[in-house]
Amino acid sequence: MKNHTVICFVAYCLPLIVASHLIAAEQGKLTLMNGEKPIMTYNATYVPSPDPQQPFYGRSGFIHPVVTPAGRVVTEGFPADHLHQHGLMFAWTSSTIEGRPVDFWNSRAEQGRVEHVSTESANADSMVVHLQHIDDTAAQPTVVLKEIWEISRVPHASYHVFDLVSTQTCATDKAVKIRKYHYGAMCIRGNQQWLAKSSMVTSDGKTRQNGNHTRPDWVALWGMVDAEPCGIAAMSHPTNFRAPQPVRLHPSKPYFCFAPMVAGEFEITPGKPYRSRFRFVAFDGEVNKDGLNRVWQDFSQR
């Protein structure tokens, strides 16, 4: 994997005040800012596994941390109970390529992986980055999907909000078949402090007890971080494939994902990009359904 030196907008690391933003040069990390407050950081540089005995959990090309306006972190990069879950990530769990099963999600299987390739552009308000999905079951490791993330800050008076547009295209002349499965695709892993207790609610008012595999417009996950309530919500755009997409709400862990393969298998085929749009909202306090619905209405009409 190539390392790229980039200009990173962060609220730490030897800051210089330029155009009302704190600017610092840091290799491999890109951060959206709300004034002088960080919103989220994309990890371009490979982050090694915290367990040297299991190096396959190392990863690049994911978002962590996501931060609320009050500065509380609502994601987890390498949770001890699931080292393969990384903040905000996009990975297919059960796929086949030329008849071979390839799992890009569960790193321990060592069948497939997702990594950062390059940074096209980055500033305090937006970034465009390139990723690739690699099939390690082939005779030689083979890039089978190329992906572009376009990430942009959305101004909001009360929340930290950003949009992510993912475009995946086949890197070979072979289709990637996504098999029917109960989870996969765009995932959020919440703060490790939420292992003890966390709550989920969907736009339809369902919880993790009755909302798994339903098809809401948005899902919110929240709990206590450093003794204060906060959370993160994710929204799937109505133009997305199989919208409203089914969701996987874990029955006990602080994680969920939008999982279109719950509704059946499909293929990503050469020449036909697979495009997804998501909006993420980091908030302080308890979940405010009316506030999230207003953010959703704005997002859904764009």
Mean pLDDT of 130-158: 98
Sheet holding 199-202, edge to edge: 112-122, 126-135, 142-154, 160-170, 274-284, 228-236, 218-225, 199-202
Q: Average per-residue pLDDT in the chain? A: 91
Question: What's the pLDDT at 26?
Answer: 55
Nearest CA among 135, 157, 153, 131 for reference residue 144: 135
Query: In sequence order, which residues have a C-beta less than 8 Å from that of residue 237 and are 6 or more positions away?
Result: 243, 276, 277, 278, 279, 299, 300
pTM value is 0.91
Nearest CA among 112, 85, 286 for reference residue 201: 286
Question: What's the pLDDT at 28?
Answer: 87
Q: Identify the three-state secondary structure at position 150.
A: strand
Query: In sequence order, which residues have a C-beta less than 8 Å from that of residue 6 and are 6 or more positions away?
Result: 26, 27, 28, 29, 30, 44, 119, 122
- 210-223 pLDDT per residue, tens: 999 999 999 999 99
Indicate whether 134 pLDDT > 60: yes
Residue 83 binned pLDDT confidence (cut-offs 50, 70, 90): confident
Q: How many CB atoms lie within 10 A of CB 267?
A: 14
Residue 8 binned pLDDT confidence (cut-offs 50, 70, 90): very low
- 218-242 pLDDT per residue, tens: 999 999 999 999 999 999 999 999 9
Beta-bridge partners for 270: none
Indicate whether 188 pLDDT > 80: yes
Phi and psi at residue 299, to the nearest 5°: -65, -45
Indicate whether 21 pLDDT > 90: no
d(CA 156, CA 193): 26
Indicate whether 132 pLDDT > 80: yes
Beta-bridge partners for 18: 21
Q: 148 or 28: which carries more pLDDT confidence?
A: 148
Beta-bridge partners for 21: 18
